[in-house]
A and B are shown apart, each in its own frame.
Chain A
């Protein structure tokens, strides 16, 4: 099956860049695939969750390392890969929040990202690398008619020396 790289993107491990990643990936998905808006929204959220985790992981061991994003497409699917250089983790050992009937549920403000990713995309794989984790999220759906070819390369990580963007107060 023909599989081609359509987007490669490196961003600094800073929270302000997550919006760029989700917007770029959603734009590519909209431009290249016949996906319903709802599915693009789902992918956008899954990408955001994976990026948040990747940035957090990088900050633990290699804060200067970028988060690497690739989007691949095949005739029947779009794959978004997000890779960090962090310490790695076992997704099956992530503690799930207690059920909503448990009063202790309110003590869990975190831990929702992985379950969200698993629910929002058609397939999610968490691959432990020698250094870091690769999250591969797959959305099935046919391509648009057209003959767009080529790969978009973006390296936002070179801006990492600039002062961080500050939210308006």
Chain B
């Protein structure tokens, strides 16, 4: 099962992490490692782009919550890009739409986030 993670630093001070593939208990550790790596590199404004995600389960949600917590503890933030209804639904059911800022595009996230 593939999980593709691509980092784009072209929207400073934002770092966009584009996630492609399926995020579950098997692949989520790689997403966690990448978020930890970005924080340890000094990135503080991270936008996780979920537009290429085909499947996301509660393990993936947990990793994103962990990433948000880690960034906030460093005075940073983690926002999301997601327009896919089936992925948004998972955030809605779990109430996490109230925890994350969710945008329609990386450009919007980079221009709206504080």
Where the two chains meet, the residues of A that have a C-beta atom closer than 8 Å to any C-beta of B are 15-16, 18-19, 22, 38, 41, 44-45, 48-49, 52, 55, 99-101, 105-110, 112-113, 115-116, 119-120, 167-169
Q: A18 and B25: CB pair below 8 A? A: yes
Select from chain A the residue with minimum beta-carbon distance to B62. Answer: A109
Task: List the one stretch of B41-49, B87-95, B101-109 in contact with chain A.
Answer: B87-95
In the complex, the chain A residue whose C-beta lies closest to that of B100 is A100
Judging by beta carbons under 8 Å apart, are A107 and B98 in contact? Answer: no
Main secondary structure of the interface of B (DSSP, over half): helix
User: Which of A109, A116, A167, A169 sits near B65, CB closer than 8 Å?
Assistant: A109
CB pair B1–A16 under 8 Å, yes or no, is yes
Contact present for A16 and B68 (CB under 8 Å): no
Count of B residues near A, CB < 8 Å? Answer: 30
Q: Nearest Cβ distance between residue B60 and chain A, in whole angstroms? A: 10
19 further A-B contacts with Cβ under 8 Å, apart from A45-B57, A100-B95, A116-B94, are A16-B26, A44-B55, A45-B55, A52-B58, A100-B98, A105-B65, A106-B69, A107-B69, A109-B62, A109-B63, A110-B58, A112-B58, A113-B58, A115-B93, A120-B93, A167-B3, A167-B26, A167-B30, A169-B30
- B24 interface hit (Cβ, 8 Å): yes
- Return the chain A residue nearest B3 by Cβ: A167
Q: In the bound complex, how far is the Cα of B99 from the Cα of A100, in angstroms?
A: 6
B27 touches A167 (CB 8 A): yes
Q: Closest approach, in angstroms, between the C-beta of A98 and any C-beta of chain B?
A: 10
Given A15-B25, A52-B24, residue A99 in contact with residue B63 (CB < 8 A): no
Contacts of B85 in A (CB 8 A): 38
Q: Across the interface, which residues of A come within 8 angstroms of B94, CB to CB?
A: 112, 115-116
Query: Which single residue of chain A is at the shortest CB-CB distance from B64?
Result: A109
Q: Is B96 an interface residue (CB 8 A)?
A: yes
Verify if B22 is at the interface (C-beta below 8 Å from A). Answer: yes
Partner of B2, one of A41, A49, A112, A168: A168
For the complex, is B13 an interface residue (Cβ under 8 Å from A)?
A: no
Binary A-proximity of B15-56 (CB < 8 A = 1, otherwise 0): 000000010111100100000000000000000000000010
Contact of A18 with B93 at beta-carbon distance under 8 Å, contacts A38-B86, A109-B66 already known: no
Tell me the bound Cα distance from A15 to B26 in angstroms. 5
Pick the most buried of B2, B26, B58, B59: most chain A CB atoms within 10 A of its CB. B58
